[in-house]
């Protein structure tokens, strides 16, 4: 005996076992139940979650600045070069803050000699183990002056920190602030070389009083904490 090949006959043959049909029906109902709740989780809920990551969100990161200062007054002799060290570990960095920049101001005040002519003062921030952006193009690591004006030096410690508000694109807040939550920057000592060259009018100091200079080094450590807001 051969089947007619008719689709109805085939279907009725396939479903000819009562026990088998019962199991099949249970299986199909189970599929519908599972499809409904996993479908809701995946197609409705998860699709929403995923689509929120489809386009990166924009965040503005603003910085709160807090300055810590250190000062050192040194008297240098003519033609003397002296190295001064500022231990950054002496600064108490509050919780949530990082060191962003180091600004150095070197001032000298001419009060001696006949002509009260300004001496030539030079200052260099010396590259050492201090973890900072030593190769940053915005750094001013050396300066010289002979007009009694202060010498301004600066060293960027935290990568790309300027103190100005920045806008970033990221898929979540964590990744947006990730660049600004690195640790380890600003560990070490700040080393500065001071150099003095006493100037006399026409190179002549009859009284011979102008042989040294009092130099003040002010170090401002710029600390920052950040706050984030989705645009």
Q: Which residues of the chain form contacts with another protein (CB under 8 A)? A: 1-7, 10, 13-21, 23-24, 27-28, 30-31, 34-35, 37-39, 41-43, 45-47, 49-51, 53-55, 171-172, 174-175, 178
Helices (runs of H) and strands (runs of E) counted in the chain: 4, 9
**CB closer to another protein out of 5 and 206:** 5
Q: Tokens 């809701």 correspond to what residue? A: 40
**Nearest distance from C-beta of residue 19 to another protein, angstroms:** 4
**Nearest distance from C-beta of residue 85 to another protein, angstroms:** 38
**Nearest distance from C-beta of residue 231 to another protein, angstroms:** 18
Q: What's the DSSP call for residue 220? A: E
**CB closer to another protein out of 5 and 184:** 5
**CB closer to another protein out of 3 and 147:** 3
Q: What's the DSSP call for residue 149? A: P
**CB closer to another protein out of 7 and 204:** 7
**Nearest distance from C-beta of residue 12 to another protein, angstroms:** 10
């Amino acid at each position: 005996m051969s089947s007619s090949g008719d689709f109805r006959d085939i279907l009725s043959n396939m479903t000819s076992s009562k026990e088998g049909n019962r199991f099949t029906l249970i299986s199909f109902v189970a599929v519908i139940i599972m499809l409904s709740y996993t479908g809701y989780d995946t197609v409705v809920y998860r699709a929403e979650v995923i689509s929120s990551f489809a386009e990166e969100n924009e965040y503005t990161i603003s910085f709160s600045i807090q300055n810590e200062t250190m000062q050192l007054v040194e008297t240098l002799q003519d033609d003397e070069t002296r190295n001064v060290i500022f231990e950054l570990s002496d600064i108490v960095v509050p919780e949530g803050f990082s060191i962003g920049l180091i600004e150095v101001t070197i001032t000298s005040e001419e009060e001696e000699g006949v002509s009260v002519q300004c001496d030539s003062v030079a200052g260099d921030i010396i590259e050492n183990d201090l973890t900072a952006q030593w190769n940053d193009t915005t750094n001013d690591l050396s300066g010289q002056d002979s007009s009694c004006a202060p010498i301004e030096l600066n060293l960027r410690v935290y990568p790309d920190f300027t103190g100005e508000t920045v806008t970033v694109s990221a898929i979540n807040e964590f990744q947006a602030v990730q660049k600004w939550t690195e640790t380890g920057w600003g560990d070490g000592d700040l080393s500065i070389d001071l150099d003095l060259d006493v100037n006399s009018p026409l190179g002549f100091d009859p009284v011979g009083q102008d042989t040294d200079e009092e130099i003040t080094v002010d170090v401002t450590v710029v600390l920052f904490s950040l706050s984030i807001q989705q645009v």
